Structures are given as structure tokens and as C-alpha cells.
Amino acid sequence: MRNHHRAIESSMKLFIISLILSAAAAFAPAAPKAAAPLTVREMHVVSSIGSWKKRSKTCQVIRRRGRYYVIDKKNPRNKARQGGAKMKPWKKGK
């Protein structure tokens, strides 16, 4: 009779251990998926907006109040501004 109880106890221990391990596996982090190749888009950086004149035939580079502006009435996406970080104070009678 004792052997029968020991067999039941050991089978119960194995069952409980397998339950614990399966529950722990459910919360384990998933294996990382292979990353898809990134499409790299390079940003067009221009140090001076004066070179933006070549962007289209309708671009105009204008200087107003110490800032340089690129104005394009046909394609507003070409609009740009440069300067003005150290603007001189405005004079009201000018």
C-alpha cells in the first residue's frame, strides 16, 4: 500500500511541476522575429537656402528683416526660412 501512495505522490509532484513549467513558459518572452529590412530615406540637408534657387524655376530667394526666405507660389512645399536667431531689435520709425 505504501508503494502505491508513493507512486501517486510522485506522479502528482510530476504533474504539478509540469503545470508550473508550462505556466512559466506562457509568460516567457517570445523569440525575437527577424527584423524587416529598413528602407533608409536620406534627409536632404542644405547649409544655405541660397542653393534652393535650383529647386525649381519659380523659386525666389528674398531677404526680409534679416531673414532669408524661399518663396514658391506654384509649389508651396519649397517654402523655407533661414536666419533670425540673433535678430536685431526692430526700429519703429524706419
Burial class (CB in 10 A: 0-12, 13-18, 19+), 70: buried
DSSP 87: P
Is residue 53 a part of any domain in this protein?
yes
Is the pTM higher than 0.75? The answer reads no
Is residue 55 a part of any domain in this protein?
yes
Is residue 3 a part of any domain in this protein?
no
Q: How many domains does the chain have?
A: 1
Model confidence over 31-73: pLDDT tens digits? 777 766 666 666 666 677 777 667 788 888 888 888 888 888 8
50 and 70 Cβ atoms separated by less than 8 Å: no
Is residue 25 a part of any domain in this protein?
no
49 and 80 Cβ atoms separated by less than 8 Å: yes
| Domain extent for 65 | 49-82
